[in-house]
Chains A and B, each alone.
Chain A
């Protein structure tokens, strides 16, 4: 087992090194950020002064090595745009995105799974067909459009909820959260729903397919023959049997929502990571782009590592095969 763990760890480190090179070269290839950032009317001497000041006059490999050396000391560099250390910038945005992503993914699961189970349990009922129809909408209607319609309806026409931004925050465990106040919650509802819609549709379909399959198995037949109440069967047997794929999707969706809630954050002016990365791309803020992409890679490599190790713990055959 320990051989397997070491092997996986080494693999993860190798992936991170390769990722960092790809990210660095890729971002470098987009273009020289100084051409966008330096004022257009700046004369040559000012241009050269600034380019040298930010170390962009050095060859690519030197810039990369310098970057790696700094990262090894925990320094991801400073944002070109904000002059502040990149890591602080990213960490200051993380709670907002975490809050939004958790609200969306948990909300989608709590609503989607029961609806999906019902649709699978009574596939021919009118209500099930309505649920499935709605889920198609959730899949096919683009997020940005739904977001704008939500704003138009609930903020502009009805005036019930704010059009965007994050409400007042309350500090808890040293982190600023907005879901602890009514005002903050009212800001959270629309973007969370907007972000949840696609996941909701997916979880409904997943739960329905799982339920339909499970309902035909011997387990359910015997449970029914044993005279168990239908409610008990659904809660104790069906839900347990369809849980594995749903948990997997939950985890992966949480990861991808954290990293890529870009569209929703932009439309709702939500001050999260997605908005930060989009702003950084449009202003070619190279240090932020590089650090963000590397941290996202780290997030996914960690998730995968944990999943791999969990599988190994669950099924010893995997680690034995891997070590051989």
Chain B
């Protein structure tokens, strides 16, 4: 009897042990299009970099599936006066090496950024911060260079490193080595760093002491596979469990594949056509090919004609094979500052031709249209589509879909007249997009840095400056909405579609909630069975 019981207990414990082993042996292997550039979270502001870093490090402010801001390492925050924000830090959070997370780490992290940042600079997240004051171990005051209403939004990609572990690895020369070797890659995130090599695999191990709780996967491997077809082949052959950025062509076929699950989400990226507003612009011509002395895009009728020539639904259905949503403004629907008052844009080629005739171009004109072809899914194809739609109303369009490495430098030098590229509202709120694109370029005010068409509407400028000072959320939202109405009515920026992102995984292997910011975070992906 006694022996029997003992055997029973033994068998039970063995069975339990096996079950535990099976569960803890769970590994998630992800094939990602792009990986981190370094293991130093303060080196790059690139989306794929932040995606990887969120596994190892935490941010003060968390951005949720739909970019709504939530408490992260900071439990709460509030503005004290026009130039001071108070952040209350979460207590009891420990780094992977067992040390406590305190205000010291926040100060250290913010202050090391100007020293270690790479060209894709993380400075943009802390540019408003003038000084970090430690009030007590769990309270910091951030002094800003003026009213900084969106500071919490800026902080969704501000990662906190351990001031003890990273102390000796915070100069330009030592940072990469210290973090890439793992010595300084000590965070408070859900996974511990095991190994990484540039453009290779990032191997992570679960951190059981994570403050949100224990993650579902014991081990996570993120394999960098930039080629779309190769990444998909790796999924189909079982080499990886999950892949991101499935192309629209593959997506159609995958939906019918019984061995694959697909999930899609609206991304933060909107494709915007931009029309140069200078007195003269270089890439517009008369029908004989001679440069036009006057810039046609300064005429509101011409801009409206161009807008009316675009059939957004066709663009989504045919060019993007369904992977997108028609859009009429610079941000995706329901973002902070998105305006319901902007009228829906419907194509009307006949009216477009009439408007062109009224504007003095009865037979149209010629122009060069420049776009990126390798930055976002479908950018080159949308460009081709636009060219054909413009041709139908009489604007003979020479389409130049080119590499972003050529496009952006030339665009910065204002060599283009009509051009299109995507813009991602990464923070989910208006100041990020509108202040950079729609405010007239003003280095003094640090506004309009990406306004490459010299668009200037004094009313818009006024609204955006007021919004930047306004610390009350509903009031600020209304100011951005008013600005958006004006900007879209001017039609110097013509938004076309919001892109969608696709993930594909082995059938039944896992469940995930697709994120708008396109991150693929292992902690929030649960095993399917």
Contact = CB atoms under 8 A, between A and B. Distances in A.
Interface of A: 30-47, 49-50, 54, 80-84, 89, 92, 148, 151-152, 155-156, 159, 162-165, 266-269, 271, 275-276, 279, 281-284
Nearest to A154: B237
B175 interface: yes
B198 A82 contact: yes
A163 B237 contact: yes
B175 A83 contact: yes
B10 interface: no
B423 A40 contact: yes
A271 B405 contact: no
A50 to B, nearest CB: 5
Contact of A46 (B127, B197, B404, B412): B127
B90 interface: no
B219 to A, nearest CB: 16
B236 A156 contact: yes
Given A156-B237, A266-B226, A84 B403 contact: no
9 contacts: A36-B405, A44-B446, A84-B180, A152-B233, A163-B239, A164-B225, A276-B199, A281-B405, A282-B405
B404 A36 contact: yes
Contacts of A284: 405
A60 to B, nearest CB: 15
A159 B405 contact: no
Interface string B121-153: 101100100000000000000000000000000
A39 B121 CA distance: 7
Nearest to A33: B119
Contacts of B197: 92, 271
B227 A84 contact: no
Contact of A35 (B43, B121, B412): B412
B408 A42 contact: no
Contacts of A165: 223, 225, 234, 239
Given A46-B124, A84-B176, A30 B405 contact: yes
B37 interface: yes
B447 interface: yes
Given A32-B412, A84-B176, A54 B230 contact: no
Interface in B193-222: 197-200
Contact of A266 (B127, B175, B227): B227
Given A30-B409, A33-B119, A44-B449, 9 more contacts: A30-B406, A31-B409, A156-B233, A159-B238, A163-B236, A271-B199, A282-B404, A282-B405, A283-B405
Contacts of B124: 39, 41-42, 46
B410 interface: yes
A42 B437 CA distance: 11
B227 A43 contact: no
B117 interface: yes
Contacts of A156: 233, 236-237
A286 to B, nearest CB: 10
Interface string B404-432: 11101111100000000001000000001
Interface of B: 37-38, 40, 43-45, 114, 117-121, 123-124, 127, 172, 175-177, 180, 197-200, 223-227, 229-230, 233-234, 236-239, 374, 403-406, 408-412, 423, 432-433, 435-436, 443, 446-447, 449-450
Contacts of B117: 50
Contacts of B172: 83
A283 B20 CA distance: 44
Given A33-B119, A36-B409, A83 B176 contact: yes
B471 to A, nearest CB: 20
A191 to B, nearest CB: 11
B409 A32 contact: yes
A81 B176 CA distance: 11
Contact of A49 (B123, B199, B406, B410): B123
Contacts of B121: 38-39, 42, 46, 50
A77 to B, nearest CB: 12
A83 B239 contact: no
Most chain A beta-carbon contacts within 10 A, residue among B177, B409, B411: B409
Given A40-B423, A159-B238, A276-B199, A151 B404 contact: no
Contacts of B237: 155-156, 159, 162-163
A5 B515 CA distance: 65
A41 B449 contact: yes
A41 B123 contact: no
Contacts of A39: 45, 120-121, 124
Given A50-B119, A276-B199, A43 B374 contact: no
Contact of B225 (A37, A40, A269): A269
Contacts of A43: 127, 436, 443, 446-447, 449
B233 A155 contact: yes
A235 B40 CA distance: 59
B230 to A, nearest CB: 5
Nearest to A92: B197
Contact of B449 (A47, A159, A282): A47
Contacts of A54: 119
A268 B224 CA distance: 12
